[in-house]
Structure 1
Amino acid sequence: MGLQYYHTTALEDWVTKFYSRLKIFRPEDINPVVISQKLSIFLREKPFSSTHQVVGRFRCIVVDSRLSKEEKREAFFHELCHILRHVGVQSMMPEAFRELQERDAKLFTKYAAIPYHMLELIDWNERYIIEQMAHMFKVTPKLCEERLTQIQNRILVNHSCFSNHFMCFA
């Protein structure tokens, strides 16, 4: 795969800098418990929908204990994004603003689960690449498939722009 044609987004760059500050450089370094501890965020599991809470300096993520290990990990990233990047109570904000925060959290989840600076560790010639990624990053195959499609699409757009000498903004 032509990763040289892949261009990161501002959010991907933000995640890479965030992980660098936390000394997260390999897939095995991505540990929700350790990340929570480093950020002084209480992490709990309870049998209800995943959520987060910020009250003054108190920050907490509650992950739905009924989910699979991989789904719990993805729920953690989603809620972590809300704590790190968003403000306000979603139930009291305009629908469009809430949707924008949710879209940001979904993208953040992909980038935090399978970060740009670790893409070079993936065997792009692996026949079962989705399974390889799911095992390596400990997330669902669905998330891996979405991230892989996103990577391939961005490379395709940027490569065709480069090849055709068009000015593209991908």
Structure 2
Amino acid sequence: MFYTRTEKFVKDLLLSFNIKKPADLGIDKVADALQVTVHLWEFGSEAICRNGKYIIFLNEQKNERVQWQEFTHEVGHIMWHVGRQELLPPSFIELQEWQANYFSCHLCIPTFMLEDNTLKMTPYKLMELFNVEYAFACKRMEMLENKRGYYRSNLS
């Protein structure tokens, strides 16, 4: 199977932490592996760097699925972005948010964990297996279908 740059990055990252199956995924395990501290608070999600250490803040009122999705979004910022967004032009902020959302889709539901099951997967199965919300699972499923369709039409 051909992997995009993001899919390969996520696969290599997770395998380097011995995270090989959906049950291995979770905030605690990924945060520990990345040496990121996670704090729950009453405000929105955000990632900051203090003294060279990353801290991710998650809203304590959100359910576990949403916290996982927002955690992976913030990890995307940590992995691929530097600096403070409030100093950037709006178009750059929009790009960074798109990139973090895209990364989140791949970290929450890694392509390599689906290779044997993609034909049998439904959004409900993805939701349960990867502990994400239904809408998130639908979005990821659509991404997989689009990728499959693209390669079928362009490589045949």
Q: State the TM-score, normalized to the length of structure 2.
A: 0.93
2:114 aligned counterpart, secondary structure: helix
Amino acid at match of 2:145: Q
1:24 aligned counterpart, secondary structure: coil
1:122 aligned counterpart, secondary structure: coil
Structure 1's consecutive aligned runs of 4 or more residues displaced over 4 angstroms after TM superposition are none
- Residues of 2 paired with 1:122 and 1:150: CA distance? 15
Amino acid at match of 1:82: H
- Residues of 1 paired with 2:34 and 2:126: CA distance? 26
Q: Equivalent of 1:29, from 12, 24, 32?
A: 24
Give the structure 2 partner of residue 166 of structure 1: none
Give the structure 2 partner of residue 154 of structure 1: 147
Question: How is 1:8-47 mapped onto 2 (pairs within 5 angstroms)?
Answer: 8-47=3-42
Q: State the TM-score, normalized to the length of structure 1.
A: 0.86
Q: Equivalent of 1:115, from 97, 110, 135?
A: 110
| 1:132 has 2:120 as partner | no
- Residues of 1 paired with 2:3 and 2:140: CA distance? 13
How big is the alpha-carbon RMSD for the aligned residues of Structure 1 and Structure 2? 1.4
| 1:71 has 2:37 as partner | no
Q: Relative contact order, CA 8 A, sep 6+: which one is greater?
A: 1
Larger Rg: 1
Identity of aligned residues (%): 24
- Cα deviation, residue 121, structure 1: 4.6
Q: Equivalent of 1:55, from 42, 50, 53?
A: 50
Structure 2 stretches lacking a partner, 5+ long? none
- Cα deviation, residue 44, structure 1: 1.2
Aligned length: 156
Structure 1 stretches lacking a partner, 5+ long? 164-170
Question: How is 1:98-113 mapped onto 2 (pairs within 5 angstroms)?
Answer: 98-113=93-108
Amino acid at match of 1:94: P
Deviations 1:137-166 (A, max 9, x none): 000111111111111111112112233xxx
